[in-house]
Amino acid sequence: VPCEVFCFRFCPSHPNIIVGGLASGQVCMWDLAEARKAHSEENALTDSAESKEGGANTIHAQIKMLSAVDQGHKRTITDLVWLPPTLEAGDRNKFARKPKEAQPAQTQFLTIAGDGQLLVWDTRRAIEVLEQEKGPKGEPGEKTEKDKKMKEGWGAKLVMPLPHTDSGAELSVTSLILDVPKEENAICRLLAVTEDGEYITVNLLEPNTEGAKGTVAGGVRAVSLGHYGP
């Protein structure tokens, strides 16, 4: 790891996948399946009878993918959360509802930091970049027209500024809770706190008036003074 890991989360639908937020503002991804496979092969070669993980039998996982330093947060990532299968960040910098059957796996996660921005990352894009870099035989792969138009490396899929509703200053968010109701016409929100002890409400998706599944992005809707410090 290039620097300190300040937060990490296991993927609910793929427990072997872990993502972490770094002090540099980057995110990284680990795949424990590969580490466990290598560990099992090593035990087989040494005729080790120990099968349980932990203690002297701890597995060691290397970072599978690291995001581009210029396509992430500008300050330390303080918290992250996986998006549920029913909510997805689209290509137009907006959130949208998805039927659970159409997106059973969780591939996107949301990060916050002290730079006043909310970012959404997609692990599918990380795999695409990794395959492009290595190619089918470990050699650099050929870039498609879509790849040529995109920036180099793994970057955020969605960027949402978090300005203060009164002053417009950047909100330095420290921790969050995601609120995604089961009802498709309900507002999807982010509840968070800042370094200054404020409580904020961020609407990620607001159902439109026509009753569709929702394609309207929200933003910071309320800032309330709570504590006088972090």
Answer whether 218's CB lies under 8 Å from 205's CB. yes
Can you tell me the distance from the alpha carbon of 120 to that of 80, in angstroms, rounded to the nearest whole number?
A: 9
Residue 104 lies in a domain: yes
What's the pLDDT score for residue 16? Answer: 92
Can you tell me the distance from the alpha carbon of 179 to that of 189, in angstroms, rounded to the nearest whole number?
A: 5
Tokens of 12: 């609910």
Dump the DSSP string for 17-80.
Answer: EEEEEETTS-EEEEEHHHHHHHHHHHHHHHT----S-SGGG-----EEEE--GGGS-SS-EEEE
Can you tell me the distance from the alpha carbon of 68 to that of 25, in angstroms, rounded to the nearest whole number?
A: 10
Tokens of 181: 């109701």
- The answer to whether the predicted template modeling score (pTM) of the entire model surpasses 0.85 is no
Residue 230 lies in a domain: no
Answer whether 111's CB lies under 8 Å from 21's CB. yes
Mean per-residue pLDDT of the chain: 82
Nearest Cα to 87, choosing from 222, 210, 217?
A: 217
What's the pLDDT score for residue 215? Answer: 47
What's the pLDDT score for residue 216? Answer: 47
Number of separate domains in the chain: 1
What's the pLDDT score for residue 209? Answer: 42
Tell me which residues of the chain have a pLDDT lower than 50: 148-149, 209-216
Residue 136 belongs to domain spanning: 5-225
